[in-house]
């Protein structure tokens, strides 16, 4: 029996493959699109049974080649570019592909764990898994929102597990290939190592410089939640996956710079001290993001906790420091 991980060479997908390996599983079918060939590096230290292109996999699946052979599908594959303007591509890649997987998994009674997104909430201020709080700002968010609606309609009559996770702002190892869509922690780290400073957005939307707030969640916690549900196939639903704690971009910048300073034997500095020494600078808020940007997110984790996940989730100070240590080791 095989585990399938779509988006397996990507950020969260490759971390899931590694987590399965750590649990003794190597019968893993890695599914992805390697048009960006350098993504293979994320899987170079993993054990898998096969790698299949995402289009070939869907064709083989619908042809019945995996009938009775799948333990579970962990569906992470998607275009996550919030600035993508090709709506036809986004809907085909993110929505239609996901519906086809859902259809198959329900027909064959295979558990499906999939990646949704906090982008479904748009500019709202309540982040609870209910329709009245959902209003995506871009086509990426809409593609995730629309699939969640399909899942909601299917859940009452589902024949096997369907668990969707609305990821908030995830950061951690294996995201370098994402380019500008990589986390702010990744970008801050590279800016500071290259220039001795980091750049944040100036104030906008009622927030002071660098004070926009997001729920930043470590990929370590994302993987642990996925494993919690994988090991409990009776748990189904759509769940927020964040820390439940909004922190500022300034917090991320301070944590990143101080982690780098600590590695060089230097004392930590406060935000005010970092600003005074020009280690933190602010740039104009981009016009292209106005009206399409979430200035505040904070997961309501009540449903996740009711599903039995009780472990604490890393703060920015804890998680970013660990991530920087990892990056420095590489």
pLDDT digits (tens, 9 = 90+) for 109-167: 999 999 999 999 998 999 999 999 999 999 999 999 999 999 999 999 999 999 999 99
pLDDT at 244: 98
The span from the CA of 47 to the CA of 32, in Å, is 15
In the predicted model, is pLDDT for residue 87 greater than 70?
yes
CB contact at 8 A, 143 and 81:
no
Instruction: Map tokens 């909430």 to a residue.
Output: 121
Q: Which position among 2, 114, 140, 171 bears the catalytic label? A: 140
Q: Which of 228, 209, 223, 129 lies closest to 171, judged by CA? A: 223
Residue-by-residue DSSP string for 12-47: HHHHHHHHHHHTT---EEEEE-TTSGGGGGGGTTS-
Sorted by sequence, the CB contacts under 8 Å of residue 277 that are 6+ apart come out as 269
DSSP one-letter code for 135: -
Q: Which of 208, 201, 213 lies closest to 284, judged by CA? A: 201
pLDDT at 8: 98
pLDDT at 205: 87
Mean pLDDT of 301-323: 98
Q: Count of CB atoms within 10 A of residue 145's CB?
A: 21
Specify whether the backbone of 205 is left (phi greater than 0), alpha (psi in -120 to 50) or beta: left
Q: Which of 273, 42, 263, 324 lies closest to 174, judged by CA? A: 42
For 30, the token pair is 């890695």
For 248, the token pair is 């500022």
Mean pLDDT of 318-322: 98
The span from the CA of 204 to the CA of 162, in Å, is 38
CB contact at 8 A, 117 and 148:
no
pLDDT tens by residue, 29-84:
999 999 888 899 999 999 999 999 999 999 999 999 999 999 999 999 987 766 66
Mark out the alpha helices in 155-248 (DSSP H runs): 184-195, 219-230
The alpha carbons of the chain give a radius of gyration, in whole angstroms, of: 20
CB contact at 8 A, 142 and 78:
no
Mean pLDDT of 294-316: 97
Question: Does 142 participate in catalysis according to the annotation?
Answer: no
For 18, the token pair is 């590694």
pLDDT tens by residue, 232-288:
999 999 999 999 999 999 999 999 999 999 999 999 999 999 999 999 999 999 988
In the predicted model, is pLDDT for residue 92 greater than 90?
no
In the predicted model, is pLDDT for residue 290 greater than 90?
no
pLDDT at 81: 67
Instruction: Map tokens 């982008």 to a residue.
Output: 119
pLDDT at 288: 85
Q: Which position among 178, 207, 292, 293 bears the catalytic label? A: 178
In the predicted model, is pLDDT for residue 90 greater than 90?
no
Sorted by sequence, the CB contacts under 8 Å of residue 318 that are 6+ apart come out as 218
Mean pLDDT of 85-112: 92
The span from the CA of 69 to the CA of 1, in Å, is 5
Question: Does 178 participate in catalysis according to the annotation?
Answer: yes
User: Which string of b and e fits 215-236 if b means at least 16 CB within 10 Å?
Assistant: bbbbbbbbbebbbbbbeeeebb
pLDDT at 82: 67
Q: Which phi and psi (to 5°) does residue 199 adopt?
A: -120, 130
The span from the CA of 126 to the CA of 134, in Å, is 9
Sorted by sequence, the CB contacts under 8 Å of residue 175 that are 6+ apart come out as 11, 182, 183, 186, 219
In the predicted model, is pLDDT for residue 292 greater than 80?
no
pLDDT at 176: 94
User: What percent of the chain stands above pLDDT 70?
Assistant: 99
């Amino acid at each position: 029996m095989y585990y399938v991980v779509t988006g397996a060479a990507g950020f969260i997908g490759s971390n899931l493959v590694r987590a399965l390996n750590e649990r003794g599983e190597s019968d893993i079918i890695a599914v992805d699109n390697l048009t960006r060939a350098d993504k293979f590096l994320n899987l170079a230290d993993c054990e898998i049974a096969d790698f299949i292109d995402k289009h070939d996999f869907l064709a083989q699946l619908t042809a019945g080649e995996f009938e009775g052979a799948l333990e579970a599908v962990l569906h992470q594959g998607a275009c996550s570019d919030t600035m993508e303007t090709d709506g036809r591509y986004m809907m085909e890649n993110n929505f239609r592909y996901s519906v086809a997987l859902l259809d198959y998994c329900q027909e064959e009674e295979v558990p499906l764990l999939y990646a949704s997104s906090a982008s479904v909430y748009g500019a709202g201020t309540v982040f609870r898994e209910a329709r009245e709080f959902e209003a995506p700002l871009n086509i990426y968010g809409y593609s995730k929102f629309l699939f969640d609606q399909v899942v909601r309609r299917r859940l009452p009559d589902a024949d096997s597990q369907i668990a969707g996770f609305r990821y908030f702002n995830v950061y951690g190892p294996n995201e370098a290939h994402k380019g500008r869509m990589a986390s702010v922690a990744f970008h801050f780290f590279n800016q500071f190592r290259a220039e001795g400073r980091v750049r944040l957005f100036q104030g906008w939307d009622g927030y002071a410089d660098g004070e926009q707030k997001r729920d930043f969640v470590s990929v370590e916690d994302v993987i642990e939640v996925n494993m919690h549900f994988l090991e409990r196939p009776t748990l189904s639903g759509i769940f927020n996956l964040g820390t439940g704690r909004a922190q500022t971009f300034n917090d991320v910048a301070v944590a990143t710079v101080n982690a780098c300073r600590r590695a060089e034997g230097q004392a930590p500095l406060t935000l005010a001290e970092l600003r005074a020494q020009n280690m933190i600078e602010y740039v104009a808020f981009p016009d292209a993001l106005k009206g399409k940007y979430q200035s505040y997110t904070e997961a309501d984790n009540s449903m996740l906790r009711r599903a039995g996940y009780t472990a604490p989730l890393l703060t920015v100070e804890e998680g970013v420091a660990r991530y920087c240590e990892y990056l420095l080791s590489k």
